[in-house]
């Protein structure tokens, strides 16, 4: 039986425009992770274990955003200088064909706490 995930976002310019939307996704499996990346360390985090279908959503939320806290996409280190929210298979595809493991690097002076939520179809 599919799981339902409701999502909402809003971005507002003070005294200016707002862009907001909401929706829901049907998915067969999801993971919620709380991860600590030690200061000065690189760590692989298995987001989606095993085989499965395409990802529908990936949210990576650092407790303390920093341009010195990154994750690898292809050959690019992407700074976690704010929450990263990818909604829909098209947006998530920017992370690569199949997301299994993400490599995080913490070059800050303290341990980094991350919250990760990801959902996908369970069958390829």
Superfamily of domain 27-120: Jelly Rolls (2.60.120.10)
pLDDT at 1: 65
pLDDT tens, 70-110?
A: 999 988 999 999 999 999 989 998 887 777 889 999 999 99
To the nearest 10°, report the CA torsion of 22, 26, 30, 32.
Answer: 20
Instruction: Return the pLDDT at 117.
Output: 96
**Burial of 123 from C-beta contacts in 10 A (0-12 / 13-18 / 19+):** exposed
- pLDDT one-digit tens code per residue, 27-42: 888 999 999 999 999 9
Domain ranges of the chain: 27-120
């Amino acid at each position: 039986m599919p799981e339902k995930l409701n999502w909402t976002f809003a971005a507002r310019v003070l005294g200016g425009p707002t862009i907001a939307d909401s929706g829901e996704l049907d998915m067969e499996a999801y993971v919620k992770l709380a991860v600590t990346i030690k200061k000065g360390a690189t760590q692989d985090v298995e987001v989606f274990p095993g085989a499965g279908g395409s990802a529908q959503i990936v949210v990576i939320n650092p407790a303390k955003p920093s341009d010195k806290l990154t994750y690898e996409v292809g050959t690019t280190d992407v700074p976690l200088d704010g929450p990263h929210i990818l909604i829909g298979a098209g947006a998530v595809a920017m992370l690569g064909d199949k997301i299994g493991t993400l490599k995080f690097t913490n070059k800050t002076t303290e341990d980094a706490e991350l919250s990760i939520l990801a959902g996908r179809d369970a069958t390829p």
